[in-house]
Chains A and B, each alone.
Chain A
Amino acid sequence: MGKTEKWLAGLSFVFTLGALGYFLYKWLVLDTIDANLIFGFFLFLSFTLNLVNWGNHEGPTEKDELVEHVQTQSARIGYYVLMALSGLILFISEGSGNFSEISNIPLLIVVGLTFVTVPIVEFFYKRRYM
């Protein structure tokens, strides 16, 4: 990572912490939840992680087969991590592991969609070859 990228990563990290700190302040002190700050936190966090990983906020600029291998494997693992996290967030936010007690139906649908997204994409994608 060059000097410029290091500065950008540092700056992006400061913005990430700023958004997180301001969100916590509003939540804990002012008792309000700001969706803009949550979105901003994750946006800046993704910039920071991409800069640290690849030296560019959009990901790798030059790809070779090892980079593609890393990205493919990460996407596969990331999908299952996201599946587990969405289920975890659903059960923690509802305070119950019992499906009959769940009231956040949109979030339940999102959790359900994580199970079927890959098979649906595979169904259409395999038609290109089989």
Chain B
Amino acid sequence: MENTIKKYREQLGLSQGSLAERCEVSRQTINAIENNKYDPSLQLAFDIARVLGVSMEELFKP
């Protein structure tokens, strides 16, 4: 699943670590999602979208 997490994260000036902290997951998890190595659960996808302040549609493309 393609995603634009990195783009929106960098726009907010957030590091992978701080995004991970706000979503209560590890930095490795955010890194794996950004690199399309792991598809997050719906709950985590919602959490990431909430922290980045964008919609799920903007963040994830099937």
Contacts and interface: CB of A to CB of B under 8 A. Distances in A.
A26 interface: no
B25 to A, nearest CB: 4
B24 A66 contact: no
B41 interface: yes
A101 interface: no
Contacts of A69: 38
Interface in B1-56: 24-26, 28-29, 32, 38, 40-41, 44
Contacts of B32: 66
A65 interface: yes
Main secondary structure of the interface of B (DSSP, over half): loop
A122 interface: no
B38 A64 contact: no
Interface residues of A, number: 6
A66 B40 CA distance: 8
Nearest to A64: B25
A31 interface: no
A64 B40 CA distance: 11
Contacts of A66: 25-26, 28-29, 32, 38
Interface in A34-52: none
Nearest to B31: A66
A80 B8 CA distance: 41
Nearest to A69: B38
B38 A67 contact: no
A16 B28 CA distance: 29
Interface of B: 24-26, 28-29, 32, 38, 40-41, 44
19 contacts: A62-B26, A64-B24, A64-B25, A64-B26, A64-B29, A65-B25, A65-B29, A65-B40, A65-B41, A65-B44, A66-B25, A66-B26, A66-B28, A66-B29, A66-B32, A66-B38, A67-B26, A67-B29, A69-B38
